[in-house]
A and B are shown apart, each in its own frame.
Chain A
Amino acid sequence: MIEFIVNVFTSANYWFIVLRSTAPILLVTLGAVITESAGIKNMALEGSMLWAALVGVIVSSWTGSAWLGLLGGILAAVAIALTLGLFALKLDANAVLCGVALNLFSTGGTVFVLFSLTGDKGISSSLASKTLPFIKIPFIQDIPWLGKVISGQNVVIWLAIAAVVVVHFIMNKATIGRRIKATGENVEAAKAAGIDPDHIKFFTLIVSGVLAGIAGCFLSMGYTSNFTSGIAAGRGYVANAAQVVAGGTAVGAIFASLIFGLTDAMATYLQNVGLPPELIQALPYFVTILGFIVVTLIRDRRESIRKKKLFEGKLPKGGLKPVMTGSDAGGATPV
Protein backbone atom coordinates (compact mmCIF):
# COMPACT_ATOMS: atom_id res chain seq x y z
CA MET A 1 0.00 0.00 0.00
CA ILE A 2 2.70 2.47 1.05
CA GLU A 3 4.78 1.38 -1.90
CA PHE A 4 1.81 2.04 -4.18
CA ILE A 5 1.31 5.54 -2.78
CA VAL A 6 5.01 6.37 -3.08
CA ASN A 7 5.01 5.08 -6.64
CA VAL A 8 2.04 7.21 -7.55
CA PHE A 9 3.32 10.38 -5.96
CA THR A 10 6.73 10.11 -7.54
CA SER A 11 5.49 9.33 -11.02
CA ALA A 12 5.60 12.22 -13.44
CA ASN A 13 2.47 10.95 -15.13
CA TYR A 14 0.44 11.40 -11.93
CA TRP A 15 1.42 15.03 -11.59
CA PHE A 16 0.74 15.56 -15.29
CA ILE A 17 -2.83 14.33 -14.70
CA VAL A 18 -3.11 16.41 -11.54
CA LEU A 19 -2.34 19.60 -13.44
CA ARG A 20 -4.70 18.61 -16.21
CA SER A 21 -7.68 17.92 -13.95
CA THR A 22 -7.01 20.86 -11.64
CA ALA A 23 -6.97 23.49 -14.39
CA PRO A 24 -10.71 23.52 -15.27
CA ILE A 25 -11.72 23.43 -11.60
CA LEU A 26 -9.29 26.23 -10.83
CA LEU A 27 -10.76 28.42 -13.58
CA VAL A 28 -14.37 28.00 -12.44
CA THR A 29 -13.41 28.31 -8.78
CA LEU A 30 -11.84 31.69 -9.58
CA GLY A 31 -15.13 32.62 -11.23
CA ALA A 32 -17.05 31.57 -8.14
CA VAL A 33 -14.63 33.46 -5.90
CA ILE A 34 -15.00 36.74 -7.75
CA THR A 35 -18.81 36.67 -7.95
CA GLU A 36 -19.09 35.63 -4.33
CA SER A 37 -16.88 38.58 -3.33
CA ALA A 38 -19.42 40.87 -4.95
CA GLY A 39 -22.18 39.16 -3.02
CA ILE A 40 -23.87 37.16 -5.75
CA LYS A 41 -23.76 33.39 -5.93
CA ASN A 42 -23.23 32.13 -9.45
CA MET A 43 -24.72 28.64 -9.38
CA ALA A 44 -25.00 28.67 -13.17
CA LEU A 45 -21.28 27.95 -13.65
CA GLU A 46 -22.12 24.36 -14.54
CA GLY A 47 -24.46 25.58 -17.27
CA SER A 48 -21.89 28.09 -18.52
CA MET A 49 -19.32 25.32 -18.85
CA LEU A 50 -21.71 23.05 -20.72
CA TRP A 51 -22.67 25.69 -23.29
CA ALA A 52 -19.04 26.75 -23.70
CA ALA A 53 -17.98 23.16 -24.30
CA LEU A 54 -20.67 22.66 -26.94
CA VAL A 55 -20.39 26.03 -28.70
CA GLY A 56 -16.60 25.73 -28.72
CA VAL A 57 -16.82 22.44 -30.57
CA ILE A 58 -19.43 23.70 -33.02
CA VAL A 59 -17.67 26.96 -33.86
CA SER A 60 -14.26 25.32 -34.18
CA SER A 61 -15.64 22.76 -36.59
CA TRP A 62 -17.38 25.45 -38.68
CA THR A 63 -14.44 27.83 -38.81
CA GLY A 64 -11.62 25.33 -38.54
CA SER A 65 -10.01 27.40 -35.83
CA ALA A 66 -9.77 26.28 -32.23
CA TRP A 67 -9.23 29.87 -31.09
CA LEU A 68 -12.46 31.07 -32.69
CA GLY A 69 -14.11 28.10 -31.02
CA LEU A 70 -12.74 29.27 -27.69
CA LEU A 71 -14.06 32.76 -28.38
CA GLY A 72 -17.50 31.39 -29.23
CA GLY A 73 -17.49 29.23 -26.14
CA ILE A 74 -16.57 32.16 -23.92
CA LEU A 75 -19.36 34.28 -25.43
CA ALA A 76 -21.87 31.49 -24.80
CA ALA A 77 -20.74 31.13 -21.20
CA VAL A 78 -20.92 34.89 -20.66
CA ALA A 79 -24.43 34.89 -22.12
CA ILE A 80 -25.53 32.36 -19.49
CA ALA A 81 -23.90 34.40 -16.72
CA LEU A 82 -25.62 37.55 -17.99
CA THR A 83 -28.97 35.75 -18.10
CA LEU A 84 -28.45 34.93 -14.45
CA GLY A 85 -27.65 38.58 -13.81
CA LEU A 86 -30.71 39.75 -15.72
CA PHE A 87 -33.09 37.61 -13.70
CA ALA A 88 -31.35 37.86 -10.34
CA LEU A 89 -30.46 41.56 -10.38
CA LYS A 90 -33.00 43.22 -12.66
CA LEU A 91 -36.04 41.02 -12.05
CA ASP A 92 -35.45 40.33 -8.34
CA ALA A 93 -35.29 36.57 -8.68
CA ASN A 94 -33.51 34.35 -6.20
CA ALA A 95 -30.01 33.97 -7.69
CA VAL A 96 -29.55 30.42 -6.44
CA LEU A 97 -32.85 29.26 -7.90
CA CYS A 98 -31.98 30.97 -11.21
CA GLY A 99 -28.69 29.08 -11.22
CA VAL A 100 -30.50 25.79 -10.73
CA ALA A 101 -32.91 26.70 -13.54
CA LEU A 102 -30.09 27.67 -15.90
CA ASN A 103 -28.23 24.42 -15.19
CA LEU A 104 -31.35 22.44 -16.01
CA PHE A 105 -31.78 24.60 -19.11
CA SER A 106 -28.19 23.84 -20.12
CA THR A 107 -28.03 20.10 -19.38
CA GLY A 108 -30.95 19.37 -21.67
CA GLY A 109 -30.45 22.35 -23.97
CA THR A 110 -26.96 21.30 -25.02
CA VAL A 111 -28.19 17.79 -25.82
CA PHE A 112 -31.10 19.28 -27.76
CA VAL A 113 -28.80 21.51 -29.84
CA LEU A 114 -26.31 18.68 -30.38
CA PHE A 115 -29.08 16.37 -31.58
CA SER A 116 -30.60 19.02 -33.84
CA LEU A 117 -27.22 19.62 -35.50
CA THR A 118 -25.74 16.12 -35.68
CA GLY A 119 -28.56 13.66 -34.97
CA ASP A 120 -26.55 12.25 -32.07
CA LYS A 121 -27.44 12.78 -28.42
CA GLY A 122 -24.32 11.46 -26.77
CA ILE A 123 -21.19 12.67 -28.50
CA SER A 124 -20.12 15.27 -31.06
CA SER A 125 -17.67 13.01 -32.92
CA SER A 126 -19.35 13.70 -36.27
CA LEU A 127 -18.26 17.33 -36.01
CA ALA A 128 -14.65 17.80 -37.12
CA SER A 129 -13.76 19.99 -34.18
CA LYS A 130 -10.27 21.21 -33.35
CA THR A 131 -8.37 21.03 -30.08
CA LEU A 132 -6.57 23.87 -28.37
CA PRO A 133 -2.80 23.53 -28.80
CA PHE A 134 -0.58 21.53 -26.45
CA ILE A 135 2.60 23.38 -25.58
CA LYS A 136 6.01 21.75 -25.62
CA ILE A 137 8.51 23.91 -23.79
CA PRO A 138 11.88 23.80 -25.61
CA PHE A 139 14.45 23.25 -22.86
CA ILE A 140 12.29 22.14 -19.97
CA GLN A 141 11.00 19.12 -21.87
CA ASP A 142 14.49 17.59 -21.71
CA ILE A 143 14.66 17.79 -17.91
CA PRO A 144 13.88 14.23 -16.77
CA TRP A 145 10.97 14.45 -14.33
CA LEU A 146 9.85 18.06 -14.56
CA GLY A 147 9.78 17.97 -18.37
CA LYS A 148 7.23 15.18 -18.35
CA VAL A 149 5.01 17.07 -15.90
CA ILE A 150 4.84 20.57 -17.33
CA SER A 151 5.83 20.19 -20.95
CA GLY A 152 3.16 19.02 -23.37
CA GLN A 153 0.34 20.43 -21.26
CA ASN A 154 -2.58 22.16 -22.94
CA VAL A 155 -2.40 25.93 -23.33
CA VAL A 156 -5.38 26.20 -20.97
CA ILE A 157 -3.26 25.05 -18.02
CA TRP A 158 -1.11 28.12 -18.55
CA LEU A 159 -4.21 30.25 -19.07
CA ALA A 160 -5.49 29.02 -15.70
CA ILE A 161 -2.28 30.08 -13.98
CA ALA A 162 -2.47 33.45 -15.73
CA ALA A 163 -6.09 33.72 -14.57
CA VAL A 164 -5.01 33.33 -10.95
CA VAL A 165 -2.65 36.29 -11.39
CA VAL A 166 -5.29 38.36 -13.16
CA VAL A 167 -8.00 37.66 -10.60
CA HIS A 168 -5.58 38.29 -7.74
CA PHE A 169 -4.66 41.60 -9.36
CA ILE A 170 -8.29 42.57 -9.93
CA MET A 171 -9.24 41.75 -6.35
CA ASN A 172 -6.30 43.28 -4.52
CA LYS A 173 -4.56 45.85 -6.66
CA ALA A 174 -7.18 47.44 -8.87
CA THR A 175 -9.83 49.98 -7.85
CA ILE A 176 -12.51 47.69 -9.12
CA GLY A 177 -11.40 45.10 -6.55
CA ARG A 178 -12.14 47.44 -3.70
CA ARG A 179 -15.50 48.21 -5.24
CA ILE A 180 -16.24 44.51 -5.57
CA LYS A 181 -15.41 43.90 -1.92
CA ALA A 182 -17.39 46.92 -0.81
CA THR A 183 -20.43 45.70 -2.73
CA GLY A 184 -20.07 42.23 -1.28
CA GLU A 185 -19.73 43.38 2.29
CA ASN A 186 -22.28 46.14 2.48
CA VAL A 187 -24.45 47.13 -0.44
CA GLU A 188 -25.83 50.23 1.26
CA ALA A 189 -22.36 51.53 2.16
CA ALA A 190 -21.22 50.88 -1.40
CA LYS A 191 -24.18 52.84 -2.73
CA ALA A 192 -23.39 55.69 -0.39
CA ALA A 193 -19.85 55.72 -1.76
CA GLY A 194 -21.25 56.18 -5.26
CA ILE A 195 -20.84 52.61 -6.45
CA ASP A 196 -23.59 51.03 -8.52
CA PRO A 197 -23.82 47.53 -7.01
CA ASP A 198 -25.58 46.11 -10.06
CA HIS A 199 -22.75 47.27 -12.35
CA ILE A 200 -20.18 45.62 -10.09
CA LYS A 201 -22.18 42.41 -9.88
CA PHE A 202 -22.63 42.29 -13.65
CA PHE A 203 -18.89 42.86 -14.07
CA THR A 204 -18.04 39.92 -11.80
CA LEU A 205 -20.61 37.77 -13.58
CA ILE A 206 -18.95 38.54 -16.91
CA VAL A 207 -15.53 37.66 -15.49
CA SER A 208 -16.88 34.38 -14.10
CA GLY A 209 -18.51 33.68 -17.46
CA VAL A 210 -15.21 34.17 -19.28
CA LEU A 211 -13.41 31.87 -16.83
CA ALA A 212 -16.11 29.20 -16.99
CA GLY A 213 -16.05 29.55 -20.79
CA ILE A 214 -12.34 28.80 -20.97
CA ALA A 215 -12.81 25.86 -18.61
CA GLY A 216 -15.73 24.50 -20.63
CA CYS A 217 -13.85 24.79 -23.92
CA PHE A 218 -10.89 22.99 -22.36
CA LEU A 219 -13.12 20.04 -21.45
CA SER A 220 -14.28 19.48 -25.02
CA MET A 221 -11.22 20.77 -26.91
CA GLY A 222 -8.23 19.67 -24.87
CA TYR A 223 -9.11 17.41 -21.95
CA THR A 224 -11.05 15.33 -24.46
CA SER A 225 -11.54 16.09 -28.12
CA ASN A 226 -15.33 15.85 -28.26
CA PHE A 227 -18.39 17.22 -26.59
CA THR A 228 -20.23 14.52 -24.66
CA SER A 229 -23.54 15.07 -22.89
CA GLY A 230 -23.06 16.21 -19.31
CA ILE A 231 -19.35 16.81 -19.96
CA ALA A 232 -18.99 19.26 -17.06
CA ALA A 233 -19.78 16.40 -14.62
CA GLY A 234 -20.61 18.68 -11.72
CA ARG A 235 -17.38 20.71 -11.92
CA GLY A 236 -19.43 23.90 -11.72
CA TYR A 237 -20.95 22.68 -8.46
CA VAL A 238 -17.58 21.58 -7.15
CA ALA A 239 -16.35 25.11 -7.86
CA ASN A 240 -19.06 26.52 -5.64
CA ALA A 241 -17.87 24.27 -2.82
CA ALA A 242 -14.21 24.98 -3.60
CA GLN A 243 -14.91 28.70 -3.43
CA VAL A 244 -15.82 28.30 0.23
CA VAL A 245 -12.64 26.31 0.83
CA ALA A 246 -10.68 29.02 -1.00
CA GLY A 247 -11.86 31.58 1.53
CA GLY A 248 -12.57 34.18 -1.11
CA THR A 249 -9.02 34.60 -2.43
CA ALA A 250 -7.45 33.77 -5.77
CA VAL A 251 -4.48 32.04 -4.12
CA GLY A 252 -6.80 30.00 -1.92
CA ALA A 253 -8.53 28.86 -5.10
CA ILE A 254 -5.31 27.09 -6.15
CA PHE A 255 -5.30 24.98 -2.99
CA ALA A 256 -9.03 24.36 -3.06
CA SER A 257 -8.98 23.14 -6.64
CA LEU A 258 -5.82 21.12 -6.02
CA ILE A 259 -7.76 19.08 -3.46
CA PHE A 260 -10.13 18.07 -6.22
CA GLY A 261 -7.34 17.63 -8.79
CA LEU A 262 -5.23 15.39 -6.54
CA THR A 263 -8.16 13.08 -5.75
CA ASP A 264 -9.44 13.09 -9.31
CA ALA A 265 -6.01 12.05 -10.61
CA MET A 266 -5.66 9.51 -7.80
CA ALA A 267 -8.99 8.00 -8.84
CA THR A 268 -7.59 7.00 -12.22
CA TYR A 269 -4.76 5.18 -10.48
CA LEU A 270 -6.93 3.50 -7.87
CA GLN A 271 -9.09 2.10 -10.66
CA ASN A 272 -6.09 0.13 -11.90
CA VAL A 273 -5.63 -1.46 -8.47
CA GLY A 274 -9.07 -3.05 -8.74
CA LEU A 275 -11.10 -1.00 -6.31
CA PRO A 276 -14.74 -0.59 -7.42
CA PRO A 277 -14.87 2.32 -9.90
CA GLU A 278 -18.23 3.58 -8.59
CA LEU A 279 -16.81 4.33 -5.17
CA ILE A 280 -13.66 5.85 -6.66
CA GLN A 281 -15.70 8.14 -8.88
CA ALA A 282 -17.47 9.41 -5.78
CA LEU A 283 -14.13 10.14 -4.12
CA PRO A 284 -13.42 13.64 -5.57
CA TYR A 285 -16.89 14.85 -4.59
CA PHE A 286 -16.51 13.26 -1.19
CA VAL A 287 -13.15 14.93 -0.56
CA THR A 288 -14.53 18.26 -1.80
CA ILE A 289 -17.44 18.15 0.61
CA LEU A 290 -15.09 17.08 3.39
CA GLY A 291 -12.89 20.12 2.73
CA PHE A 292 -16.02 22.24 2.48
CA ILE A 293 -17.24 21.03 5.89
CA VAL A 294 -13.86 21.40 7.57
CA VAL A 295 -13.37 24.95 6.31
CA THR A 296 -16.86 26.13 7.23
CA LEU A 297 -16.40 24.52 10.65
CA ILE A 298 -13.09 26.32 11.24
CA ARG A 299 -14.51 29.64 10.05
CA ASP A 300 -17.58 29.29 12.21
CA ARG A 301 -15.46 28.43 15.26
CA ARG A 302 -13.20 31.42 14.61
CA GLU A 303 -16.13 33.74 14.32
CA SER A 304 -17.79 32.56 17.51
CA ILE A 305 -14.50 33.10 19.36
CA ARG A 306 -14.35 36.60 17.93
CA LYS A 307 -17.91 37.32 18.99
CA LYS A 308 -17.14 36.05 22.47
CA LYS A 309 -14.14 38.36 22.68
CA LEU A 310 -16.24 41.26 21.45
CA PHE A 311 -18.78 40.47 24.13
CA GLU A 312 -16.15 40.43 26.84
CA GLY A 313 -14.70 43.65 25.56
CA LYS A 314 -11.38 42.14 24.53
CA LEU A 315 -10.92 43.31 21.00
CA PRO A 316 -8.26 41.69 18.87
CA LYS A 317 -5.17 43.74 18.14
CA GLY A 318 -5.69 46.32 15.43
CA GLY A 319 -9.34 46.78 16.25
CA LEU A 320 -12.24 45.23 14.40
CA LYS A 321 -11.51 43.44 11.21
CA PRO A 322 -14.20 42.57 8.73
CA VAL A 323 -14.88 38.86 9.00
CA MET A 324 -16.48 36.70 6.40
CA THR A 325 -20.08 36.24 7.36
CA GLY A 326 -23.36 35.48 5.74
CA SER A 327 -23.11 34.40 2.16
CA ASP A 328 -19.31 34.49 2.27
CA ALA A 329 -19.34 31.76 4.87
CA GLY A 330 -21.28 29.70 2.41
CA GLY A 331 -24.84 30.33 3.23
CA ALA A 332 -27.22 31.64 5.83
CA THR A 333 -28.62 34.13 3.36
CA PRO A 334 -32.36 33.88 3.73
CA VAL A 335 -34.05 33.16 0.43
Chain B
Amino acid sequence: MTALEKNPRIWGLLAQYENPSTIFTACEKVRDAGYEKWDSCTPFPVHGLEKAMGCKPSKIPWIVLCVGLCGSTFMLWFESFAMGNLYPMVVGGKPLFSLPAFVPIWYEITVLSSCLTAFFANWILSGLPQPNHPAFNSKAFERVTDDKFFIMIESEDPKFDIEQTRALLQSTGATLVEELPS
Protein backbone atom coordinates (compact mmCIF):
# COMPACT_ATOMS: atom_id res chain seq x y z
CA MET B 1 0.00 0.00 0.00
CA THR B 2 1.58 3.26 -1.07
CA ALA B 3 1.36 6.49 0.83
CA LEU B 4 -1.12 7.77 -1.72
CA GLU B 5 -3.59 4.92 -1.24
CA LYS B 6 -3.55 5.40 2.51
CA ASN B 7 -4.28 9.08 2.11
CA PRO B 8 -6.12 9.83 -1.09
CA ARG B 9 -6.00 13.59 -0.62
CA ILE B 10 -3.13 14.82 -2.71
CA TRP B 11 -0.95 17.81 -1.98
CA GLY B 12 -0.31 18.62 -5.60
CA LEU B 13 1.28 17.58 -8.86
CA LEU B 14 4.98 17.40 -9.53
CA ALA B 15 6.37 17.60 -13.06
CA GLN B 16 9.93 16.89 -14.06
CA TYR B 17 11.83 18.68 -16.83
CA GLU B 18 15.21 17.85 -18.26
CA ASN B 19 16.79 21.24 -18.89
CA PRO B 20 16.55 24.96 -18.12
CA SER B 21 15.12 25.70 -21.51
CA THR B 22 11.98 23.53 -21.21
CA ILE B 23 11.28 24.54 -17.62
CA PHE B 24 11.60 28.17 -18.64
CA THR B 25 8.85 27.92 -21.27
CA ALA B 26 6.82 25.62 -18.98
CA CYS B 27 6.89 28.22 -16.22
CA GLU B 28 5.72 30.89 -18.62
CA LYS B 29 2.78 28.67 -19.61
CA VAL B 30 1.82 27.81 -16.01
CA ARG B 31 2.02 31.49 -15.10
CA ASP B 32 -0.13 32.45 -18.09
CA ALA B 33 -2.66 29.76 -17.21
CA GLY B 34 -3.30 31.77 -14.04
CA TYR B 35 -2.01 29.47 -11.30
CA GLU B 36 -0.98 31.09 -8.04
CA LYS B 37 0.03 28.36 -5.58
CA TRP B 38 2.83 26.77 -7.48
CA ASP B 39 6.57 26.68 -7.55
CA SER B 40 9.53 25.56 -9.60
CA CYS B 41 12.63 23.91 -8.19
CA THR B 42 16.01 23.92 -9.88
CA PRO B 43 19.55 22.79 -8.98
CA PHE B 44 20.86 26.31 -9.57
CA PRO B 45 19.19 29.69 -10.09
CA VAL B 46 18.07 29.63 -13.73
CA HIS B 47 18.56 33.07 -15.19
CA GLY B 48 15.23 34.90 -15.59
CA LEU B 49 13.11 32.03 -14.26
CA GLU B 50 11.65 34.20 -11.50
CA LYS B 51 10.35 36.53 -14.19
CA ALA B 52 8.97 33.62 -16.18
CA MET B 53 7.11 32.64 -13.00
CA GLY B 54 6.00 36.17 -12.25
CA CYS B 55 7.69 36.36 -8.80
CA LYS B 56 7.95 39.72 -7.09
CA PRO B 57 11.43 41.03 -6.25
CA SER B 58 12.76 40.16 -2.80
CA LYS B 59 12.15 42.59 0.06
CA ILE B 60 15.49 41.73 1.68
CA PRO B 61 17.23 44.98 0.60
CA TRP B 62 14.63 47.08 2.44
CA ILE B 63 14.84 44.95 5.57
CA VAL B 64 18.64 45.16 5.52
CA LEU B 65 18.52 48.91 5.02
CA CYS B 66 16.23 49.39 8.04
CA VAL B 67 18.08 47.09 10.42
CA GLY B 68 21.48 48.24 9.16
CA LEU B 69 20.60 51.87 9.84
CA CYS B 70 19.35 50.97 13.32
CA GLY B 71 22.53 49.01 14.10
CA SER B 72 24.67 51.80 12.76
CA THR B 73 22.88 54.52 14.72
CA PHE B 74 22.95 52.45 17.89
CA MET B 75 26.68 51.83 17.71
CA LEU B 76 27.60 55.46 17.14
CA TRP B 77 25.34 56.46 20.02
CA PHE B 78 26.76 53.71 22.22
CA GLU B 79 30.38 54.63 21.49
CA SER B 80 29.81 58.27 22.38
CA PHE B 81 27.66 57.37 25.40
CA ALA B 82 30.15 54.83 26.79
CA MET B 83 33.17 57.07 26.17
CA GLY B 84 31.54 60.36 27.09
CA ASN B 85 28.95 59.59 29.77
CA LEU B 86 29.26 56.14 31.30
CA TYR B 87 32.97 56.41 32.09
CA PRO B 88 34.21 59.71 30.74
CA MET B 89 37.95 59.64 30.23
CA VAL B 90 40.20 61.76 28.07
CA VAL B 91 42.60 59.56 26.10
CA GLY B 92 45.39 61.08 24.05
CA GLY B 93 43.91 64.55 24.41
CA LYS B 94 40.95 63.66 22.23
CA PRO B 95 37.56 65.17 22.97
CA LEU B 96 35.00 62.92 24.66
CA PHE B 97 33.03 62.75 21.43
CA SER B 98 35.89 61.98 19.03
CA LEU B 99 34.09 61.08 15.84
CA PRO B 100 37.04 60.08 13.59
CA ALA B 101 38.24 57.58 16.19
CA PHE B 102 34.74 56.12 16.44
CA VAL B 103 34.43 55.48 12.71
CA PRO B 104 36.08 52.01 12.44
CA ILE B 105 33.89 50.33 15.05
CA TRP B 106 30.83 52.24 13.90
CA TYR B 107 31.51 50.92 10.39
CA GLU B 108 32.17 47.34 11.48
CA ILE B 109 28.92 47.16 13.45
CA THR B 110 26.98 48.58 10.50
CA VAL B 111 28.39 45.79 8.34
CA LEU B 112 27.82 43.11 10.97
CA SER B 113 24.21 44.06 11.68
CA SER B 114 23.40 44.32 7.97
CA CYS B 115 24.99 40.98 7.14
CA LEU B 116 23.29 39.18 10.01
CA THR B 117 19.99 40.64 8.83
CA ALA B 118 20.54 39.60 5.22
CA PHE B 119 21.48 36.12 6.37
CA PHE B 120 18.50 35.54 8.66
CA ALA B 121 15.98 37.38 6.47
CA ASN B 122 16.93 35.07 3.61
CA TRP B 123 15.99 31.93 5.53
CA ILE B 124 12.99 33.40 7.34
CA LEU B 125 11.39 34.79 4.18
CA SER B 126 11.89 31.40 2.51
CA GLY B 127 10.31 29.59 5.45
CA LEU B 128 13.51 27.67 6.13
CA PRO B 129 14.59 25.61 7.96
CA GLN B 130 11.74 23.37 6.93
CA PRO B 131 12.77 19.79 7.62
CA ASN B 132 10.08 18.16 5.49
CA HIS B 133 8.12 19.02 2.40
CA PRO B 134 5.58 16.96 0.39
CA ALA B 135 7.93 17.00 -2.61
CA PHE B 136 10.50 15.05 -0.59
CA ASN B 137 8.16 12.04 -0.81
CA SER B 138 8.99 11.77 -4.48
CA LYS B 139 11.94 9.61 -5.49
CA ALA B 140 12.43 11.63 -8.68
CA PHE B 141 12.68 14.85 -6.67
CA GLU B 142 16.02 13.69 -5.25
CA ARG B 143 17.60 14.87 -8.49
CA VAL B 144 16.41 18.45 -7.96
CA THR B 145 19.72 19.35 -6.34
CA ASP B 146 21.65 17.56 -9.06
CA ASP B 147 20.46 18.02 -12.64
CA LYS B 148 16.65 17.84 -12.91
CA PHE B 149 14.12 20.67 -12.94
CA PHE B 150 10.66 20.53 -11.39
CA ILE B 151 7.37 22.39 -11.31
CA MET B 152 4.85 21.70 -8.55
CA ILE B 153 1.29 22.95 -8.48
CA GLU B 154 -0.59 22.70 -5.19
CA SER B 155 -4.09 21.24 -4.99
CA GLU B 156 -5.01 24.26 -2.85
CA ASP B 157 -4.76 26.47 -5.90
CA PRO B 158 -8.23 27.68 -6.98
CA LYS B 159 -7.54 26.71 -10.58
CA PHE B 160 -6.28 23.24 -9.67
CA ASP B 161 -8.03 20.41 -11.41
CA ILE B 162 -6.18 17.13 -11.38
CA GLU B 163 -6.87 16.22 -15.00
CA GLN B 164 -6.52 19.66 -16.55
CA THR B 165 -3.45 20.53 -14.53
CA ARG B 166 -1.85 17.23 -15.45
CA ALA B 167 -2.62 17.84 -19.11
CA LEU B 168 -1.14 21.32 -18.91
CA LEU B 169 2.07 20.02 -17.34
CA GLN B 170 2.37 17.22 -19.87
CA SER B 171 1.85 19.63 -22.75
CA THR B 172 4.79 21.75 -21.55
CA GLY B 173 7.35 19.02 -22.12
CA ALA B 174 7.40 17.34 -18.71
CA THR B 175 9.10 13.96 -18.82
CA LEU B 176 7.30 12.79 -15.68
CA VAL B 177 4.17 13.96 -13.84
CA GLU B 178 3.58 12.61 -10.34
CA GLU B 179 0.94 13.08 -7.69
CA LEU B 180 2.37 14.18 -4.36
CA PRO B 181 0.60 12.77 -1.28
CA SER B 182 0.01 15.29 1.46
Q: Do A and B bind each other?
A: no
- What residues make up the interface of B, taking CB atoms closer than 8 Å to A? none
